[in-house]
A and B are shown apart, each in its own frame.
Chain A
Amino acid sequence: MYSEYSIVIAGVGGQGGLTLSRVIATAATLSGLSIKTGETLGMAQRGGSVQSYLKIGKIIRSPLIKKGCADALIGLEPLEAVRASSYVGPHTKIVLDPNPIPTIFNLVGKEDYPSIEELLRILKEKTNQFYIIQARREAEKLNARQSANMILLGKLISLDAFLPSEKIEEAIRIVLGEKAGKAIAAFRIGMNL
């Protein structure tokens, strides 16, 4: 098993990064492990850059992750994944949904969204354990847009079993309650991608 596992979740406010972080944290506690998460919360508005840090292990000291030292980066959006890429080192696994979300500057025509190829190239240069997952598209097939993140988590767990998948499913049930069904289905799809 892993003595410590650290994850950066990078996305846009409203994409559900916080829920994802709560699911992983809950699964860790269910597995008898300690956790610390670092989040920058506190704005009601969605649509800004959001990064969360999660560390799981026997004893966890700080909520922050050192640059180049994350075990995994879950990228919910490509520009935001690149923004968090200083945490990526050669051993880091990246699971990324490559579908862009434009910024307000892009929307009003003040600035162009960077080229996706260029963003992917930056990530690829940092690690060769880079997995591009069409999570939102897959989730839409399930008619469960909100569950895209669970597909990414499923993929990551299939690469690195840092927590038992039963505990994650149990955590999804605790965190999401009634809405857990589709999220668990999405998680399983991710596991098999």
Chain B
Amino acid sequence: MHHRQNLVLMGNEAIAYGALTAGLAVASGYPGTPSSEVIDTLLELTASGKINRPYIEWAVNERVAFEICLGASLSGVRSLVTMKGPGLNVASDPLLSSAYSGVEAGMLILVADDPGPYTTQTEQDSRWYGEFAKLPIIEPSDPKEAYEYTILGYELSEKIKLPVIMRTTTRVNHTVSDVKVKEFVEPSYTPSFSKNPKRYLRAVMTWNRERHGEVLEALDKVESLAEEFRLNRVEGLGKLGVVCSGAAYTYVLEVLEKNKLLDKYRILKLGLIHPIPKKIITEFLKEVDSVIVVEEIDPYIEMKLKALAYDEGLQVKIMGRQELFPRVGELTPDDIESVIIGRQFKLNNVALPMRPPPLCPGCPHIGTYMGLKMGISRAGHRWGEIPIMGDIGCYALGLNPPFEAIWTEHSMGASISMAVGLKAAGYPKPVVAVIGDSTFYHSGITSLIEAIHKDVDLLVVIMDNLTVAMTGHQATPEYELSISGRRMKRLDLEKVVRGLGVERIAVVDPYNYRDVSEKVREFIHQPGVKVIISKRACAILEKRAGIGQVCWIDPEKCTNCLACLKLTGCPALSPLEGRVSIIESECVGCTLCMQVCPYNAILVRKIGVAKINV
């Protein structure tokens, strides 16, 4: 039965494999780096027919995903919900009640934090949620452990009948490593759901108080279970203590091994973060002369240790991120080496030009921003005078040249509500909010309801590229078919917006950027909420589906004025070797550059047809 196989897996793939080995039945989540590949992997395995599970799908947002998984676990099947750190903020409402309802079958909540940060709006440390929501938190240190902890997480969850949070960081989620995996286990169950008012109903306050007590009692059992599962361990016999968790453990071990210092040190590696395992820590603190705490983002373990030492009357010196390490950014083996052996390392001291990713060749957002820019100017305003409230998604890259468009990017859906705030404050000029389709469905829709209801003068541009593009093209409510093969009911964005009561709506194609600009000019001074849906599939998807044409520049006509490049910023336009040309393999034939060339030097060529100058 349980074959072991050695695979090369990314941390997120290992988590997906672990969940399947544990007999996972239901998985949901909302895409967010660095967590997305868990559900992506489960979907791929479903699509390839390697697994068959009742439900693996992306949800409209994290709280909905969370509640789907909670419902599944209450009916006796194992579930997995995944999200990035800020996603857990969105799901925090059901998260906090979930300890009170508890679960029947195991529920694992994967939250992926992003020290650095590399791709996240805040450098959030989600470990604080353990205490806040009264749920256990486990933290693996590499892909192999991520696989094992996923399986253990389900066992722990079922022993105490509470959801378990697994916190990871980018260096676990996106590290690729060799992992030994066992065979997948088919979930064997008949879903059943029985009434249990005290647990599942939060309407009676005495029940809530009672449940609070029961949850705390359940949490008291976690420490000894963690011992049974060997989640925490001590390595070495030295007198210098290091307490660490997550990827930081691997850095510590490496630095000590390489410097041949293992015999001087004693490492306490914590896999259980909440409730903090008091017994093993207290014993550890008694054995060492000093302690360095190495952990990602906040001084969470450090503060716990200090409190514990105080309670136990221990004088041992404890230092960590508050005293020794940089207070922001990702920890590295260099940081640890500089603390442990005082090795200084040099950072680059040359100031180098930044290289943010540009919008892709033929990205529909390019056309929308071109239209917005032109429309605002045709309405009598300067570009840079009208606030454009941005949101989270690819279109946030419109902050870079050539558009330098958006003024804010805050949290999912905030473009519209913050724009309402500007108007509520009496801001005298027109205000524009730009938001993507998936972000709109995720959270923007409630903000739009607010704007409509309060009859705010606001222009909303929904940049509908028919996918969650930035995180790798996951499904939106406009998908008819899931990768899992499930048929879904497609929502129609225009009907949704119209149904909410917006009267001035236009659906335009961003590849005709003048149409966008015309609607912007027409709408921007009109009263109430106006919505422009700028609709065109993500250029990467179009390209995958197969494009019919590309553009090329006729060198005879081109004056090399570079208007095409400066107005579109399209990366398929290459000015190398002194003259601009179009990299044919990159071009998707959107014609936006052609529309702005003052010399008509850009021409369309159907694929498979030779370049002819007509």
Contact = CB atoms under 8 A, between A and B. Distances in A.
Nearest to A59: B257
Nearest to A41: B174
A13 B359 CA distance: 12
Given A62-B247, A64-B171, A107-B575, A35 B254 contact: no
B359 A29 contact: no
B254 A103 contact: no
Interface size class of B (residues with CB under 8 A): 35 or more
A18 to B, nearest CB: 10
A46 B397 CA distance: 12
Interface string B282-317: 000000000000000000000000000000000000
B559 interface: no
Interface stretch (B59-67, B95-103, B347-355): B347-355
A42 interface: yes
Contact of A61 (B33, B257, B345, B562): B257
A26 interface: yes
Contacts of B34: 41-42
B347 A42 contact: no
A102 B429 CA distance: 37
A106 B332 CA distance: 32
B401 A37 contact: no
A16 interface: no
Nearest to B36: A42
A83 to B, nearest CB: 5
B490 to A, nearest CB: 22
A137 interface: no
Given A47-B571, A107-B573, A108-B402, A38 B352 contact: no
A48 B566 contact: no
Given A62-B254, A82-B350, A104-B569, A47 B358 contact: yes
B8 interface: yes
B584 to A, nearest CB: 12
A41 B562 contact: no
A42 B356 contact: no
Contacts of B224: none
A47 B573 CA distance: 13
A45 B174 contact: no
Contacts of A109: 562, 566
A12 interface: yes
A158 to B, nearest CB: 25
Given A41-B33, A48-B357, A64-B332, A104 B571 contact: yes
A193 interface: no
B175 A38 contact: yes
A80 interface: yes
